[in-house]
Amino acid sequence: MTYLAKPRLLRPDTPRNTLGYTRRDYEGAISTLCAGCGHDSISAAVVQACYDLDIEPHRVAKLSGIGCSSKTPDYFLGNSHGFNTTHGRMPSVLTGAALANRDLIYLGVSGDGDSASIGIGQFAHAMRRGVNMTYLVENNGVYGLTKGQFSATADKGSKSKRGVVNNETPIDLVALALQLGASYVARSFSGDKEQLIPLIKGALRHLGPSFIDVISPCVTFNNHAGSTKSYDYVREHNDAVNRLDFILPRDRINASYPPGSLRRIVQHDGSILHLRKLDSDYDPSDRIGAMNHLQERHALGEIVTGLLYVDSSAEDLHRHLNTVEKPLNQLGDAYLCPGSKVLEALNASLRRS
């Protein structure tokens, strides 16, 4: 498919964020995905989240694996560097990038095949390593790009378009992320931007590994009766534990929420997550509780969405490695090379005595 350039003409009253950017400044190339693909809604949510957060587009590095989902970084944040890596290996490339420059915002985009099958090892290790990133899985329960094979997140008993029934146990990446040490874990639905956009914002401002599993129907291969990742199925079985309002430090706190149903979580950077509780006994700071809740509801056939867990005091890989504040990719020769005098002393210690 060829790209039609979007007209760059802007009306004078086009809204701008505090940095003066319009929403358009956060868009990318025109999507080549199927019309109605859930992944496109997620791209739109990313654009909105970055616009709302006043992120300078070039301060984001977007990385992905291979799949329809992994193509999407081309379709948002056109002024950000992107890297479409190899199938299932985005987490390692992102980890390396994050090591090189701790100052950028890292957004990893993956699919359920990319993360739950070929890349499950890298997914797991990036979570446990504490890489400071936002990791989105655009989960459609199939391999879209290779035309509709079941993925490892497909529910047992779900039917493929051709009528084949999946008999294998599904992998729940949210459960894994909780277990493996992700410090911000959420699930959402591509069709629910009210829920998704604040979740992405919270993740982008979170320090540490943030993981969001976004159920994202594949209209071409997995949006029929019998699929548990179709638009209809998810709408019917969605069980949101909370609704998130994301508030930047500069925003005035909106006092209109009914007291008692609000939970306020302050992140490292001062940003505030307001959780409007839908489920009265849900506590997002309790990791074990989150795991239990997830399993209980899963047994009832429900899909739990919302912010399931957040640890606002988490640390990241750079802190563990005690690296200098200045990004490693900006250290000059003088900071890196010990020079000839040191080498001469070293030679002396290696000579016969």
Rounded to the nearest whole angstrom, what is the least distance from the CB of residue 230 to ligand SF4 in the complex? 11
- 325 binds another protein, rule: CB under 8 A: yes
> What are all long-range contacts of 53-59, with beta carbons under 8 Å and residues at least 24 apart?
53/201, 53/204, 53/205, 53/248, 54/17, 54/18, 54/19, 54/21, 54/248, 55/105, 55/204, 56/19, 56/21, 57/21, 57/25, 57/26, 59/103, 59/104, 59/105
Q: Which stretch binds ligand TPP (CB under 6 A): 4-12, 62-70, 93-101, 301-309?
A: 62-70
Taking CB under 5 A as the criterion, the residue among 57, 65, 73, 111 binding Mg ion is: 111
Which CB sits closer to Mg ion, 140 or 242? Answer: 140
Contacted entry of ligand TPP, another protein, ligand SF4, none for residue 61, CB cut-off 5 to 8 Å set by kind:
another protein
- 96 binds another protein, rule: CB under 8 A: yes
Contacted entry of another protein, ligand SF4, ligand TPP, none for residue 34, CB cut-off 5 to 8 Å set by kind:
ligand SF4
The C-alpha atoms of residue 50 and residue 60 are separated, in whole angstroms, by 9
Structure tokens at 108: 């990893």
The C-alpha atoms of residue 57 and residue 25 are separated, in whole angstroms, by 8
Which CB sits closer to ligand SF4, 41 or 92? Answer: 41
Structure tokens at 333: 């020769």
> What contacts 91, CB < 8 A, 6 or more positions away?
108, 110, 119, 122, 123, 125, 126, 131, 135
- The closest of 347, 330, 329 to 338, measured between CA atoms, is 347
Taking CB under 5 A as the criterion, the residue among 25, 27, 52, 112 binding Mg ion is: 112
- 140 binds Mg ion, rule: CB under 5 A: yes
- 145 binds ligand TPP, rule: CB under 6 A: yes
Which CB sits closer to ligand TPP, 21 or 221? Answer: 221
What is the phi/psi pair of residue 98, to 5°?
A: -65, -30
User: By the criterion CB under 8 A, which residues form the site for another protein?
Assistant: 3, 25, 29, 56-59, 61, 63, 73-74, 78-86, 89, 91-101, 103-104, 121-122, 124-125, 129, 317-318, 321-325, 328-331, 333, 335-340, 342-343, 346-347, 350-353
User: By the criterion CB under 6 A, which residues form the site for ligand TPP?
Assistant: 66-69, 87, 111-114, 138, 140, 142-146, 151
